[in-house]
Amino acid sequence: MESVKSKKTKNSFVQYLRVSTQKQGIDGNGISAQERDINIFLGGQNNPMVIGKYVEVESGANDERPELEKALDLCRKTSSHLLVQKVDRLSRDVEFIAKLVKDKSIQLRVANLPNADNFQIHLFAALGMAEREFISVRTKAAMKAAKERGQKFGNPRLGEINRTRKKVARSFASSVSHIVKPLREKGMTYQEIANTLNSMDLRTTQGCRYHPIQIKRILDRV
């Protein structure tokens, strides 16, 4: 951890970097990769001043992180921006990020989303969580189906398949709702929400583009 006592400045930043393990680094989320992207971001700012840098070794699923708390405290005291490389470096919990976004004393900046406002940061966090949950559910469903095929010599029960599909659909609807609900609350129509999801290359469980009726079904399921 590095920090500097400072008066309030117009364009000051507190860096927060996180890795899950000491050996992490080969997947692009290592400390050196985060520093690289953050430095690129700062290079595009007008006279940026870094007044603190905090590094944490902790899972993104754990929101009890002392270094993050120190970074947030310094941001509040100096009216500085909290700067991270990517949204998931801050947290993998969309509710945690939503809480930060609503905190008027914290100004979030994401190096890989240099022009994103707080609402867009929340949206990208929800999208990332939806993708992770869908991959997890789909993988479990595929493993279960493979097991059934092995036991039933290639003829899994139709009822079991349908129950699995419904489970996948409910789980996916729940995760995507973190994106859809805020958009609906902002007054967007079903068509506008569908267009937004399609523009982000997000697809349904069948791999298809979204339509208004599917947006309504997602909201009805949650």
pLDDT digits (tens, 9 = 90+) for 84-114: 998 888 887 777 888 888 888 998 999 988 8
Please tell me the predicted confidence (pLDDT) of residue 120.
Answer: 74
Please tell me the predicted confidence (pLDDT) of residue 96.
Answer: 82
Distance between CA atoms of 168 and 47, rounded to whole angstroms? 49
Lowest-pLDDT range of 27-41, 132-146, 155-169: 155-169
The C-alpha R_g of the chain, in whole angstroms, comes to 21
Please tell me the predicted confidence (pLDDT) of residue 26.
Answer: 46
Delineate the domains of the chain, giving CATH numbers in brackets. Answer: 2-115 (3.40.50.1390), 119-221 (no CATH)
Please tell me the predicted confidence (pLDDT) of residue 102.
Answer: 83
In the chain, the percentage of residues whose pLDDT exceeds 70 is: 64
Contact 35, 17 (CB under 8 A): yes
Position 197 pLDDT exceeds 90: no
Q: Which residue has the higher pLDDT, 63 or 115?
A: 115
Q: Which residue has the higher pLDDT, 140 or 37?
A: 37
Give the mean pLDDT of the chain: 77
Range 51-90 burial, b when 16+ CB lie within 10 A, else e: bbbbbbebebeebebebbebbbebbeebebbbbbbbbbbb
Tokens standing for 195?
């267009």
Tokens standing for 104?
């008027």
pLDDT digits (tens, 9 = 90+) for 4-54: 544 445 689 999 999 987 655 445 568 898 999 999 999 999 999 999 999
Q: What average pLDDT does the segment 175-192 reach? A: 81
